[in-house]
Chains A and B, each alone.
Chain A
Amino acid sequence: MSDIGYRKIIVDGLWHNNQALVALLGLCPLMAVTNSLVNGLGLGLATTAVLLLSNLSVSTIRHWVRPEVRLPVFVLIIASFVTAVELVMHAWFHELYKILGIFIPLIVTNCTIIGRAEAFASRNPVLASATDALAIGFGFTAVLTLLGASRELIGQGTLLSGAHLLFGEAARAWEVTVNPDYPGVLLAILPPGAFMGLGTLIALKNLIDRYFGQRGTETAPAPTPQPEQA
């Protein structure tokens, strides 16, 4: 346990074990809120916050919790943090909170969080667990943001619309309109667009993996990724 490669934790969390693209976890909120960049980013950050807090606490208490009550305890911890995060968002990001609606409390059901608590934090030291939480969280956030951005761009031809919801009034001007005459492909911001968008992102990731995988074998034997030491 002492020689955990932080580099590997980070790369796995962001890419090889990306929760949205590889593990296909947390898809319900992912599909539902990614109709704009800001919504995606907002939910991604909220999820990351919960993930970090839950990983930290689970890792801290990992030696004291009996196996038979482990899962209920984890759920308790996660639910508490989610409620706290929800309250905080309600207080300081009111409009975004209204838009994200039910998906904030639903973070509690996001399998990523209980999954990381169980698979990683309950077996690894605190610092490693925090790293894992951040890597996984940012990996998830990146997908949400990317999906939100592409759906927003295709759907209504803008980027960063509603940035003030997250970054304050000053960000109102950040909104980019690519082409004012763009009619917008509504399908992209409606639910079917989420499925197609996510499918395309998964395909893209596989394509990139294959491309580098092939190139790697052609030039030099790339270090084969070790199976995760859990």
Chain B
Amino acid sequence: MNERAPSPWRTALTAAAVLGFFAVLGSALVGVAYQGTAERIAQSEREALLRQLNAILARHEYDNDLLNDYLDVSAPKRLGAETTRVYRARRQGKPVALILSPVVAQGYSGAIDLIVGIRVDGTLAGVRVLSHKETPGLGDRIDERKSPWILGFSGKSLDEPPLSRWRVKRDGGDFDQFTGATITPRAVVAAVKEALLWYRAQGPKLFEVPPQVEKTRHE
């Protein structure tokens, strides 16, 4: 080795070749992994979404392909989000419920993303929190893992309780607030109420629109 020093060009080229070889090898590995998992990943994503939706509306209540029967609507004043996806559940062709994701409420420290299910008769199938930034231990009890409060929406509608009592108790309504935190539950209650009002305005005609092609505006 010592007697014959390789030329710098040769060294550099060998190094480049080695590096290139491993770059190709690494890319190949990633490519293979991607090929091997792509389908499974897509399936997992679908399953995860379905699990979310099924938490609101049980699997046996509908029989259509929920994931492919949706509309993207834009009603920021009512639903809080620029775009909300509306999944339409049907059973034997008849409308069963709509599931709205996301409905956005303005909490104590930022947006709270909700998923809201509304049956065709205007009662709530269920409400869940998708994500939030509320203070741990105070506002985060809207999360079903911290407290069952959010489950209390199921079965409620704009008539039961009446519209005037769609407030937290402190404001003279029917819904519990949490000790130490009023802003968060107040925001969630208001957002759910708005979603119900939106549904009342749009009504069952939402089921008639053909499955999603374009964004449509439904205020």
Contact = CB atoms under 8 A, between A and B. Distances in A.
B201 interface: no
B188 to A, nearest CB: 21
Interface in B20-36: 22-23, 25-27, 29-30, 33-34, 36
B41 A87 contact: yes
A126 to B, nearest CB: 17
Interface stretch (A61-69, A146-154, A205-213, A220-228): A61-69
Interface string A74-103: 001101110110011011101100100000
Given A90-B44, A94-B44, A95-B48, A66 B37 contact: no
Interface in B22-76: 22-23, 25-27, 29-30, 33-34, 36-37, 40-41, 44-45, 47-48
Interface stretch (B11-19, B148-156, B203-211): B11-19
Interface size bracket, B side = 20 to 34
Given A84-B33, A190-B136, A91 B44 contact: yes
A69 B44 contact: no
Contacts of B45: 94
Contacts of A79: 26
Contact of B41 (A65, A73, A91): A91
A90 B41 contact: yes
Contact of B47 (A81, A94, A189): A94
B30 A66 contact: no
A186 B136 contact: yes
Contact of B18 (A69, A81, A98, A186): A69
Contacts of A190: 136
A52 to B, nearest CB: 15
A180 interface: no
Q: Is the interface of A mostly helix, strand, loop or mixed?
A: helix
Contact of B14 (A66, A77, A80, A94): A66
A5 interface: no
B137 interface: yes
19 contacts: A69-B15, A69-B19, A80-B25, A80-B26, A80-B29, A81-B29, A83-B30, A84-B30, A87-B30, A87-B33, A88-B37, A90-B37, A90-B41, A90-B44, A94-B41, A94-B45, A94-B47, A94-B48, A190-B136
Interface of B: 11, 14-15, 18-19, 22-23, 25-27, 29-30, 33-34, 36-37, 40-41, 44-45, 47-48, 136-137
Given A66-B11, A83-B30, A98-B48, 9 more contacts: A65-B18, A73-B19, A77-B22, A80-B26, A84-B29, A91-B37, A92-B44, A94-B45, A95-B48
